[in-house]
Amino acid sequence: MLVDLVQTTTRDGLRLDGTYQAPTAPTGAVSVDAFCLVHGTGGNFYSSTLFDAFADRLLQMGCGVLRVNTRGHDGISTAATAKGGRRQGAAYEIVDDCRHDIAAWIAWLAGRAGQRVGLIGHSLGAVKCLYALAQKPDPRVACVIALSPPRLSYEWFCASPQAAAFLVDYHAAQQLVDRGEPGTLLDVKLPLPFVITAGGYVEKYGPDERYNYLRCLRGVSCPMLVTFGSIEVENNMAFRGAPEAIEKLRERSSRIAVTTVAGADHFYTGVRDDLLVQVESWLRASCYKL
């Protein structure tokens, strides 16, 4: 598999890396020139086998594929800037900064492949795509496919069966922030186990609910497909009830579609063909709208 190693620089000065693959020949199967694939918490542009499967299918459909890093790539990483290295990664990122990352990659892809860009995000990457477009719509984005976006909702987490365990982590983070130590790293357990600064945890999962994507959907003007796995919906508080919540929004907006893939976990293990069939079917059916 031959790919081009590519870079972009965000408007706040961070260099980001990725890969681009051009299709052998455009087929016109869908009205999207190329897709940008955005990883989730602690991910990166090269390690997702889920995105491997998507890249193969999209290239077959005649679409270019850009796989990218955001500043939240890997657990802890160092971002290159004109002023030297800056500590980033999932542990240190502020989700709001994804606006700069998404904007930079959209501009890069539109300049390379064409003005009709699609976004595909997985997990937190899906939240980032929806959040960034809700904050600043971009007419070059023809569609968004949000794969398993977690509901980052303090209110929802506090009403879940795992509320007590979530609040242990949240209160520990809040106490550090109150003591003026927001940069202290915490090994948290919910809504997923990872290392994050106290300030980052409060900002990401706090009662302001800045990143509750259910609040963003109405602000996104292009067609959207949101997918979930039946196993994650049943077992994880960040996904429980989400398909039903989106269905209610869908009643008031024809731009939104939602599907749950039977037998799928968060990474769609063993059922990726089913997911790809549903995504491709939606893309082809939505082609005239894009």
Position 287 scores a pLDDT of 55
Rounded distance between C-alpha atoms, residue 5 and residue 155, angstroms: 42
Rounded distance between C-alpha atoms, residue 213 and residue 153, angstroms: 9
CB count within 10 Å of CB 273 equals 11
Rounded distance between C-alpha atoms, residue 214 and residue 127, angstroms: 10
What is the DSSP code string of 143-211?
EEEEES-----HHHHHTSTTHHHHHHHHHHHHHHHHTT-TT-EEEE-SSS-EEEEHHHHHHHHSTT-TT
User: For each successive 10 residues of the chain (290 residues), what is the average pLDDT?
Assistant: 91 96 82 96 96 96 96 93 88 96 98 96 98 96 97 96 96 98 96 96 96 94 96 96 94 89 98 97 73
Where do the domains of the chain lie? Answer: 4-152+210-289, 154-208
Note whether 23 and 64 are within 8 A (CB).
yes
Answer whether CATH 3.40.50.1820 is correct for domain 4-152+210-289: yes
Compute the residue count for the chain. Answer: 290
**Residue from 132, 128, 88, 100 nearest 10 by CA:** 100
Position 288 scores a pLDDT of 44
